[in-house]
Amino acid sequence: MRPALIAGLFMGVAAVLPASAAEFRSIGDRPAVMHDAPATKAVKLHILGPMQPVEVVVKLDKWSKVRDFSGEFAWVESGTLVDKRHVVVSVPNAEARVQPRLAAALAFEAKRGVVLELTGAPVDGFAPVKHRDGSAGFIAISQLWGL
């Protein structure tokens, strides 16, 4: 292939792929239908519950292609996504600490798949999170998905 043609192909791909690091958003207060294509008439694959974090991999006008915690890709109406961030526990049992360090006292524990609200920016390798029951603490970012 000629260099100009290769450059043109890459430029076309770059217009669709995100230019920066991963972009994570959350499903809003209502469940969201996940589709196999960016259209309401497309095949409905499954439903993601409220507050589930997703990674946005492609944005079109009113649709976003996302990857969920299970690793599946699907299309969702962009209006169902919110900026409020949530994360999912990705290890069998995560320990939330009262301070962002391993030696700190235990605040609470969360099992794999539990959704937690991200309440701020990570600090020293720990993410500040809040459980829906109101418990708050810091969990090592290596134990979370959605950052």
- Summarised one tens digit per residue, pLDDT across range 12-71 is 333 344 445 689 999 999 999 999 999 999 999 999 999 999 999 999 989 999 999 999
DSSP characters for 106-127? EEEEEETT-EEEE-S--BTTEE
Of 46, 61, 83, which residue sits at a domain end? Answer: 83
Say whether both 76 and 99 belong to one domain: no
Given this model, what pLDDT does residue 10 score? 36
Question: Do 35 and 51 belong to one domain?
Answer: yes
Q: Is the pLDDT reported for residue 135 higher than 60? A: yes
Q: Are residues 69 and 101 in the same domain?
A: no
In sign, the C-alpha dihedral spanning 95, 99, 101, 105 is negative
User: Does 8 share its domain with 41?
Assistant: yes
pLDDT at 61: 87
> Which of 83, 114, 136 is the C-terminal boundary of a domain?
83
Structural domain boundaries, residue 28: 3-83
Q: pLDDT > 70: what percent of the chain?
A: 86
Q: How far, in Å, are 25, 81, 135 from residue 94 at the CA level? A: 22, 26, 14
Instruction: Name the DSSP letter for residue 128.
Output: E
Mean pLDDT for the chain? 88
Helix (H) or strand (E) holding 24: strand 23-27
pLDDT reported for residue 22: 83
Please say if the pLDDT value at position 1 is more than 90. no
| Residue 138's CATH number | 2.30.30.40
Residues 75 and 21 in one domain: yes
Shared domain for 75 and 119, answered yes or no, is no
**Are 59 and 121 in a shared domain?**
no
Domain boundary among 83, 107, 126: 83
Q: How many domains does the chain have?
A: 2
Same domain, 139 and 104: yes
Rounded to an integer, the average pLDDT of 113-126 is 96
Q: Residue 30: its pLDDT value, please?
A: 95
Same domain, 77 and 30: yes
Q: What is the pLDDT of residue 20?
A: 52
Query: Is residue 126 within 8 Å of residue 140, measured between CB atoms?
Result: yes
Query: Are 118 and 54 members of one domain?
Result: no
